[in-house]
C-alpha cells in the first residue's frame, strides 16, 4: 500500500481511538495517557542515546507524572518532576563523578519536561469542568492542524518556513494548518455550548500557533542526532512523538489558557 494510503488509514484509526477514549475519560483515559507517556519517553531516550540518558529515572518519573496528574493536581505533577531530578542525581552519582554526567542528567530531565509535562497537562485538561470538550479541542485541534498543514504543504507549499531545521515545512502549510486548527476547535465548540464561542476561538488560535512549534522542536532534536523519525510506532507516520509532538506543546499552553478563562 502506498505510504499516503497507509498514513490516512492509520490516522483514521488513531483518531477514532482518541475520540472514544477522550469522551469516555476515567480509567481508559489514564491507561492510554500512561502508555503514551511511556512510549513517548522511550522514543525520546532512544533518539538521545548518544547522550546516555538515565533511563530508569525517566521511566519512573514519567509514569508517576502521568498518574499524579490524573489523581491529584498540577502541584503534584511538578513535585514528581522535582523528585525525578533527585532520582537522576542519585543514579548518576552511584558510579562516581564521570565526564558527561551533567549532560546525562540534563537530557533525562528534558525528556520528562517534554513528554511528562505534555501528557500530564492533557490529563489536567480532561479533568476540568467541561474537560471532555476541552480535551477533544486540544487533541483534534492539534491533529487537524498537523493534517491540514501536511496536505497544504504537499500540494501548495512553495515558501520554506525553516529550511535548515525542517526543509519540507512551508509557510503555506503553516497557514493551512493554523486555519485547520481554529476551524476544528470552533466546530467542536458548537457542540459544547457551555464553553463559549470566544473561548473556543482563543483556544483554537493558541493551538494553531503552539502545535507547529512543538513540531519544530522535535525537528530540532532529530536534526541534532541526525535521524528522520523518532520511531516506527505508527506506520506511515513514524514514531509516537512524530504524531504527538505538536499536541505535547499545545496541551500545556491550553491548560493554562483554560484556567485563565475561569
Amino acid 236: pLDDT:
54
**Per-domain residue ranges for the chain?**
3-261
pLDDT per residue, tens digit, the chain (262 aa), is: 455 566 678 778 888 999 999 999 999 999 999 999 999 999 999 999 999 999 999 999 999 999 999 998 889 999 999 999 999 999 998 876 777 899 999 999 999 999 999 999 999 999 998 999 999 999 999 999 999 998 898 889 888 888 888 888 899 999 999 999 999 999 999 999 889 899 999 999 999 999 999 999 998 999 888 887 776 665 655 789 988 899 999 999 999 999 998 7
Contact 44, 115 (CB under 8 A): yes
DSSP states of 85-149 = HHHHHHHHHTT---TTHHHHHHHHHHHIIIIIHHHHHHHHHHHSTTHHHHHHHHHHHHHHHHHHH
Amino acid 234: pLDDT:
59
200 vs 218: CA distance, rounded Å: 27
- Of the candidates 152, 262, 136, the one whose C-alpha atom is nearest the C-alpha of residue 204 is 136
Amino acid 1: pLDDT:
45
Output the nine-digit C-alpha cell for 205: 488560535
pTM across the whole model: 0.91
The b/e string for 18-48 (b: 16+ C-beta within 10 A; e otherwise) is beebbeebeeebbebbbebbbbbbbbbbebb
Amino acid 165: pLDDT:
82
247 vs 177: CA distance, rounded Å: 13
Amino acid 237: pLDDT:
56
Percent helix, strand and coil across the chain, each rounded to 5? 80, 5, 15
Amino acid at each position: 500500500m502506498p505510504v499516503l494510503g497507509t498514513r490516512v488509514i492509520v490516522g483514521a484509526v488513531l483518531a477514532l481511538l482518541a475520540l472514544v477514549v477522550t469522551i469516555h475519560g476515567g480509567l481508559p483515559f489514564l491507561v492510554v495517557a500512561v502508555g503514551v507517556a511511556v512510549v513517548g519517553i522511550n522514543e525520546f531516550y532512544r533518539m538521545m542515546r548518544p547522550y546516555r540518558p538515565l533511563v530508569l529515572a525517566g521511566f519512573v518519573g514519567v509514569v508517576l507524572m502521568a498518574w499524579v496528574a490524573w489523581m491529584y493536581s498540577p502541584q503534584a505533577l511538578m513535585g514528581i518532576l522535582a523528585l525525578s531530578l533527585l532520582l537522576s542525581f542519585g543514579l548518576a552519582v552511584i558510579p562516581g563523578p564521570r565526564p558527561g554526567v551533567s549532560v546525562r542528567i540534563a537530557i533525562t530531565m528534558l525528556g520528562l519536561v517534554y513528554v511528562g509535562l505534555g501528557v500530564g497537562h492533557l490529563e489536567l485538561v480532561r479533568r476540568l469542568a467541561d474537560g471532555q470538550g476541552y480535551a477533544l479541542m486540544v487533541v483534534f485541534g492539534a491533529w487537524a492542524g498537523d493534517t491540514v498543514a501536511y496536505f497544504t504543504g504537499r500540494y501548495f507549499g512553495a515558501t520554506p518556513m525553516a529550511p535548515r531545521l525542517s526543509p519540507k515545512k512551508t509557510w503555506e502549510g503553516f497557514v493551512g494548518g493554523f486555519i485547520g486548527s481554529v476551524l476544528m476547535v470552533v466546530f467542536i465548540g458548537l457542540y459544547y455550548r457551555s464553553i463559549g464561542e470566544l473561548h473556543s476561538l482563543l483556544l483554537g488560535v493558541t493551538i494553531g500557533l503552539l502545535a507547529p512549534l512543538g513540531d519544530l522542536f522535535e525537528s530540532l532534536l532529530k536534526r541534532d542526532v541526525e535521524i528522520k523519525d523518532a520511531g516506527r510506532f505508527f506506520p506511515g507516520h513514524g514514531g509516537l512523538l512524530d504524531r504527538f509532538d505538536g499536541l505535547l506543546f499545545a496541551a500545556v499552553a491550553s491548560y493554562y489558557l483554560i484556567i485563565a478563562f475561569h
